[in-house]
Structure formats: structure tokens, C-alpha cells
Structure 1
Amino acid sequence: MRIDTLGKKLALAGGLVIGVLILIAVVYLTVIAPSFIGKTGSDGALLKRYIDPQDLQQLTIQPDDEIWIIDVRSAKMYNQGHIPTARSFPSSEIEDRLTELPQDKYLIMYCETGGRVQVVMNKLAKHGYSRYMNWGGYTRWPYKFATDDGNL
């Protein structure tokens, strides 16, 4: 009987933990993550014109050499599908690859939700970058993704 009662209490506690985690995830995805969208570095305000997916799509159709779209998700996620013309700079590698990321380019960055981009933006700011914008999460992109084999 005691083991049965203990099992029920543990199951109830486990259910509570799962419920709290789900609540935290919902709050993050609906309140916190959207607040990252459109955040810019001190010289990145002009990038806000690309905040709407259709405007970013136009940039992918008619690229501007001065503006790079940067995917900071893992290389594996990038290879599974990314916004066309985006370059892969995983957040875990960004500081090791600064020589590949010119400070004079404008950077539109995205990840899963926008949270990881905020971390990358802080790292870039410490290294003198100021021309960037957090586009948010890749799920905002309603169009076909490009893949590592070049297909859309």
C-alpha cells in the first residue's frame, strides 16, 4: 500500500512539473520570444524594412551585397532547411568565425525563436559590430526553405 501511495504522489508531482514546463514554454513562445523581433544594433535600424516575411523574401530574390541573412542555428538545422541566400554561422561558432563576418555588412539574423540571436547580438556588440537585426524565428518564414543540396 505504501509503495502504491508513493507512486501516486510521484506521478502527481511529475504531472505538475510537466505542467509548469509547458506553461514556461508557452509564456516564452508567446510573450518573450516575440519581443526580440526587430531588435537592432546601434546602426541596424534600416534593416527593419525587412521585418515582414514578404519584404525579406524580396531581399532573397534580389540580394543586396551589403546585407547578409545569417542563420545562427546549428549546421544540421541549417542543412535541413533555411531561408534562401542565408549563410550558416552557428551561434556556438560565431566568435571563432568573426574574420568571416565583415563588420561593414548589415546582418539580418534568425534562429528558432529569436532568443539565440539575442545572445549572438551581445557577442557581436562586444566585438564592435553594430549593423544587425534580430529577425526572430525561422517559423515566421511562410515560404519554401532552401536545403543543403540547393533545392527549394
Structure 2
Amino acid sequence: MREIDIDQAATELEKGATFIDVREPAEYAEGHLPGAVNIPMGQLPGRTDELDKDETVHVVCASGNRSGAMTDFLTGSGFDAVNVAGGTSAWIRAGRPTEK
């Protein structure tokens, strides 16, 4: 599984890369990476048609565990997927901005 750290994630966000947040809607509403789209882990297998196989999909959750599993799932489904190591928790600890 490919992973990037928070600094690399910030660079990719600035470039307009695709980010999906696989946390539950209530978690997402508390604060998420700017521009990240919420597709909860349990819904992702049925919503892959919302993603572009021609673009890298950056996957984030709270700590990197759920997003790691979903990165593996997406990779196995033919997507170029990358896990954001440390998740939203690491993003916030690094002082990065969130949206609500």
C-alpha cells in the first residue's frame, strides 16, 4: 500500500488532487481536510463509480487504519489509491486547517 505523510498530502491538496474521507458523517462534520469528499468506509464499495480511475485517489480517516483498508480495496479494484498516514488526527496535530 502506498502512503504519503501530512506534508505530502498538503502539497497534493494544493494541486487540487482528489481526497476522500472514509470516516462516518458525524466525524466528517467535526472537521475534515479542505475539499475532501465524505464517502464512509461502509459505503465505498458501492460508490466507486463516483471516483475517476484516471486520477490518484488520496484516502484519509481519523488515524490511517480505515483509510489503509480502503486504500487496499481501491487498489485491488483498479484505482491508483494512496493512504494518508496518520489521518485527520495527524493533520490537526500538524496545525493544518480543516473545514466543517
Q: Structure 2-normalised TM-score?
A: 0.81
Aligned length: 96
> Highest Rg: 1 or 2?
1
Q: CA RMSD in A?
A: 1.9
Q: 1:135 aligned to 2:84?
A: yes
The structure 1 segments of at least 4 consecutive aligned residues displaced by more than 6 Å after TM superposition are none
Larger helix percent: 1
Correspondence list, 1:34-113, <5 A: 39-40=1-2, 48=4, 51=5, 53-60=6-13, 62-64=14-16, 67-113=17-63
CA offset at residue 109 of structure 1?
1.1
CA offset at residue 110 of structure 1?
1.1
Higher RCO, 1 vs 2 (CA within 8 Å, ≥6 residues apart): 2
The share of aligned pairs that are identical, in percent, is: 23
Larger strand percent: 2
Q: Where does the alignment leave 5 or more consecutive residues of structure 2 unmatched? A: none
